[in-house]
Amino acid sequence: MNAVTCKVKTTNSKKRVLIVGGGLAGLATAECLARNYSDRFDISLLEAKRKTGGRAGSFQESKTGVTVDYCQHVAMGCCTNFLGLLERQGLGGQLHRYTCLKFFHPEFPVSTFTPSRWLPAPFHLMPALSNLRYLNRSQRRQIKHALFRLFRTSSDELGDLLAEPWLKAHGQDRATIGDFWSVIVVSALGESIDRVSLAAVRKVFVDGFAAAHNASDVLVPKLPLADLIGGHLTAAIEQLGVEVKTGQVVRQISAEKSIALADGRLLAADHVVSAVPWHAVNHLVPPDTVEKLEALAAAPASPISGLHLWFDRQITELPHAVLVGTVAQWVFRQPWEEDDRSSAGFYYQVVISASQSARCLPRQELIEIVLRELRNAFPQAKNAKLVQSKVVTDPQSVFSITPEFEALRPPSRTGLPWLHLAGDWVATGWPATMESAVISGRMAAASVVQSEFGGNLEVEAGLPRRWLARCLIKP
């Protein structure tokens, strides 16, 4: 782990830091500052909602009384900053780790995607690709060819390229794009393959799969996000000396280094960190503080839908599965109870990313389509009765990671030395993920420290790459 390294001048009084926004970005900022500089900073975090966690949150379903996540969040083994944050606060054990994925295609037997433990990266992916039974030999050759071209092309060379035209130019036919590239990209980036930045796609396949063993491991919380992030993680950060205040609606950050609350109070600070979503920050910070911020705030979002389903019996024993060639993309079994059955029934969540088309369907029609797909994939589901259902869609779940958006992403440092930005949308080099949010928090903490004392912050460098991966994969 790389730590914050700074040249610190002696001072007799603490500087006050106010963090606006209690999502993962704001919490990560607070944790980094408090862990390294609790003797230098008096840190307060202000969250408008009753609980911290932001989009990584949960709700209590009214009819069943069961607490479920708005949308299932998962991390991957490559998410070293997010995992490091949990580990430091004693929460690393609150994640299930899975080393293989099950892919279900309506017309083929189940495929198991398991990278080799013995072959060196990136060749450890070759057996896993060969096991995708719905891909023919020609498609596998296409994929290996395009992956090698991505490995040999540095991120700097990709510029403003879109993913789909590049894939077509490098021999990927329509079926291969739909059944392989799109399946991974839509789930990882929350946007369709025809809109996403090629640089973001490369990030997913290089850092998320190819560069190191265990990078593609899937980690699923054992607790509802409201408990894990809004409860345990927040409590651990408070133990570091951070004051966390919920129900604090911030109306404006003024150029006089103060925060105006909805109740009329003004809070003065030496440093302010804005850790709100990209579409809200422009109305919060002083005008002309951040270049292109207005364009960033108007940038399109991509919705993600979660279908919360309760059955009268178990439909699959698998903890999760990937569905190919269907409206449903992922299905997750209840991850935080030994016994899946509650008084409401057996709970499963189906996740649909980039759900613009699904949102256009009537609710009942969407549920019927997904039920048919689940019954086709899982024999146990054929006789299962749906007891209760709820569809939850966040229209601004993630930013649409187009080349245009990538060009707008700002650094944490702004034109004002006391104002700093955090959020998965700043220039972290990552798509809209929990990892990006945590990296942005460390970047914002570094900006505070550098502005106040001088110094540098290095985020977690990621999983170490062995010699062969360093030779084959350009930076």
Tell me: do 236 and 317 sit in the same domain. Answer: no
Domain boundary among 179, 199, 216: 216
Q: What residue has token string 């980036």?
A: 189
Tell me: do 281 and 410 sit in the same domain. Answer: yes
Q: Tell me, what CATH number does 243's domain have?
A: 3.50.50.60
Tell me: do 153 and 208 sit in the same domain. Answer: yes
Q: Is residue 83 part of a domain?
A: no
**Spatial CA neighbour of 28 closest among 70, 84, 92:** 84
Tell me: do 206 and 123 sit in the same domain. Answer: yes
Confidence of residue 414 (pLDDT cuts 50, 70, 90): very high
Report the pLDDT value the prediction gives residue 8, as an integer from 0 to 100: 36
Give CA separation, 209 vs 76, 216, 295, in Å: 9, 5, 33
pLDDT at 338 over 60: no
Tell me: do 317 and 446 sit in the same domain. Answer: no
Q: Quick check: helix, strand or coil at residue 248? A: coil
Domain boundary among 216, 237, 256: 216
Q: Tell me, what CATH number does 332's domain have?
A: 3.90.660.10
Mean pLDDT of 356-360: 90
Q: Is residue 73 part of a domain?
A: no
Contact 88, 1 (CB under 8 A): no
Residue 420: φ, ψ to 5°: -135, 150
Alpha helices in 233-337 (DSSP H): 234-239, 293-297
Q: What is the Cα–Cα distance from 167 to 385, expressed in whole angstroms?
A: 42
Q: Is residue 95 part of a domain?
A: no
Give CA separation, 369 vs 62, 175, 327, 350, 376, in Å: 24, 22, 8, 12, 11
Q: In which domain, by residue range, is 336 found? A: 301-399
Report the predicted TM-score, pTM, of the whole model to 2 decimal places.
0.94
Q: What is the Cα–Cα distance from 466 to 121, expressed in whole angstroms?
A: 7
Find the range with the poorest average confidence among 59-68, 362-371, 442-451. Answer: 59-68
Residue 296: φ, ψ to 5°: -65, -45
For the chain, the domain total comes to 3
Report the pLDDT value the prediction gives residue 138, as an integer from 0 to 100: 97
Q: What is the Cα–Cα distance from 93 to 86, expressed in whole angstroms?
A: 9
Tell me: do 150 and 272 sit in the same domain. Answer: no
Mean pLDDT of 84-92: 97
Q: Is residue 374 part of a domain?
A: yes
Tell me: do 379 and 418 sit in the same domain. Answer: no
Q: What residue has token string 């990621």?
A: 462
Report the pLDDT value the prediction gives residue 340, as an integer from 0 to 100: 55
Q: Largest alpha-carbon pair distance within the chain?
A: 70
Q: Is residue 80 part of a domain?
A: no
Q: Is residue 9 part of a domain?
A: yes
Q: Is residue 345 part of a domain?
A: yes
Q: What is the pLDDT of residues 4-34, one digit of tens each?
A: 333 334 345 899 999 999 999 999 999 999 9
Percentage with pLDDT > 70 across the chain = 95
Burial class (CB in 10 A: 0-12, 13-18, 19+), 388: middle
Alpha helices in 241-361 (DSSP H): 293-297, 356-359
Tokens of 266: 């003004």
Q: Is residue 66 part of a domain?
A: no
Tell me: do 120 and 212 sit in the same domain. Answer: yes
Tokens of 393: 């869609």
